[in-house]
Amino acid sequence: MVKYFKSKNIKAVPTSGAGPDFLEGGKAIEVKGSNADFGQAINQYCDYLLTGRFKDLAIALPVDLLDSMSLVRLTAFCKAAWSMRWSWHHAYDSVACRSRAC
């Protein structure tokens, strides 16, 4: 992944210990291998989003990790994550608007 990031001029910094594999300007980048536990990966993605420590999340998954059920789960996760992010964005806008007496 490091070579790929360099080739695309992506300034992702590798991390160590618990947490995402890379960080890029507040965005968590999580990379999984072919033998990863997909259910555990989804739980990990949820933790990243729910803690609010990261402003965005990018994931890299090998094609052979995906089957029809994991694609359904990934789609559901993405829809829920998008919905949460959108509602938080609107809640923030609403609070900011009230504080400025719009």
Model's pTM, two decimal places? 0.70
Q: Is 26 helix (H, G, I), strand (E, B) or coil?
A: coil
The structural domain count of the chain equals 1
Q: Is the pLDDT of residue 74 over 60?
A: yes
Q: Which domain holds residue 57?
A: 2-99
Ramachandran category for residue 9: left, alpha or beta (phi over 0 → left; psi -120 to 50 → alpha): left
Do you know the residue count of the chain? 102
pLDDT recorded at residue 100: 45
Residue 50 to residues 3, 21, 62, 67, 98: CA-CA distances in angstroms? 30, 18, 25, 26, 25
Instruction: For the beta carbon of residue 89, count every other beta carbon within 10 angstroms.
Output: 10
Residue 56 to residues 28, 66, 73, 101: CA-CA distances in angstroms? 6, 22, 19, 30
Predicted confidence band of residue 80 (pLDDT cuts 50, 70, 90): confident
Instruction: For the beta carbon of residue 65, count every other beta carbon within 10 angstroms.
Output: 16
pLDDT recorded at residue 91: 47
What is the distance between the alpha carbons of residues 87 and 1, in angstroms, rounded to a whole number? Answer: 32
